Amino acid sequence: MAVAHHLAAHDRIITTLEAVACGFTERQIASRVKRGLWARLARGVFFSVEHPFTDAARIRAIAAAHSATIDRASAAWWHGFRDDHPGRVTASIPRTCKLGTRCDVPADLRRRTYPSEDVTALRGIPVTGPALSILGAASMLDDEPALNFLDRMLQKGTVTVPELTASLDRNSGIHGLGRARRLVTVVADASEFEAERLFVRLLKQEQLTGWTQQAWLCGYRYDFAFPAERIAIEIHGHAFHKWEDRWNRDLTKANAVATAGWLPLAYSWEMLNFHRERSMTELTQAIAARRGELM
């Protein structure tokens, strides 16, 4: 009965030590395996085959087989931050441990030793904490979905920017987290300055001339302007959509310059990074059209 309770509470995964603690002998364990009731996944790690082999069971098996800390995408899933789980379990083992145990569960194993502040026990297995799990999961995604994932975690209050930054600082040097730091910078909205610098480079690449930065129009400051063509341009960071008051203020600015005969345009960090060609084509077409109108 104790074994049944354990299996029910641990996604049908049990180790030799746990089975013995529940009153089983090694002979009884071997009998379960021989009769096909338990499948041996690794040395000393078993699965009760009477139930489906779930993602949770795979994660528990890897944690038990390798004394591993579950991290990255699997950790984010284990915490409930993601609905989908990747095919391979993501985990890390300490650099001082040998990877000698063979396990039938596919896994992406890394050799990493995490600071104690970034590891917790959740439902009986070691897993990276919320901040590091979110960072690790984001580092495995392409830029746009990674930014959306980080933004969603911040919007829901699951984690804060200072918590993400502190975890990055504690784990500096870990492969993949350098990119995660850049993504955090973007969602923290240091991205607006980055987007303005990128926009300048794109203007020069397109050999567009006649523009000026920080132009005052109708009592409002615009990031860029083409005075001869009467085009006013605003550049927005990734987090711009979060602030309703700023959104309303920019609508007022756009209406003011449009009433005065200017064409207001706006480009976001995402547009300049992920839809660069389309954004520049739109701008060059707008410049050509305005020149034709104002001749």
- Strands in 119-122's sheet, in edge-to-edge order, are 107-111, 89-93, 69-70, 125-128, 119-122
> Predicted confidence band at 144 (pLDDT cuts at 50, 70, 90)?
confident
> Per the structure block, which two tokens stand in for 75?
């950790």
How many residues are given for the chain?
A: 295
Span 87-130, pLDDT tens digits: 899 999 987 776 667 889 999 999 999 999 999 999 999 999 99
Residue 241 CA: distances (Å) to CA of 153, 199, 258, 285 = 15, 19, 22, 26
pLDDT at 23: 93
The average confidence (pLDDT) of the chain is 89
Residue-level pLDDT at 58? 97
pLDDT in the model for residue 214: 87
Q: 35 pairs with which residues across the strands?
A: none
Percentage with pLDDT > 70 across the chain: 93
CA-CA distance, 250 to 243, in Å (whole number)?
11
- Name the residue among 89, 82, 83 with its Cα closest to residue 55: 89
Between 44 and 187, residue with greater pLDDT: 44
82 to each of 188, 194, 229, 239, how far by Cα in Å? Answer: 21, 29, 47, 21
pLDDT band with cut points at 50, 70 and 90 for residue 158: very high
Supply the angle between the helices 130-139 and 177-185 in degrees, to the nearest 10: 100
Would you say the pTM of this structure is higher than 0.75? no
pLDDT at 243 over 70: no
pLDDT of residue 206: 93
CA distance 186 to 182: 6
Contacts by residues 149-152 (CB-CB < 8 Å, ≥ 24 positions apart)? 149/82, 150/183, 150/184, 150/187, 151/187, 151/238, 151/239
The pLDDT assigned to 249 comes to: 79
Q: Given a cut of 80, is residue 191 above it in pLDDT?
A: no
Residue carrying structure tokens 């993504």: 183
Helix (H) or strand (E) holding 235: strand 231-236
Q: What is the pLDDT of residue 238?
A: 66
275 pLDDT exceeds 60? Answer: yes
pLDDT at 264 over 90: yes
Q: How confident is the model at residue 174 (pLDDT cuts 50, 70, 90)?
A: confident
Residue of 274 and 57 predicted with greater confidence: 57
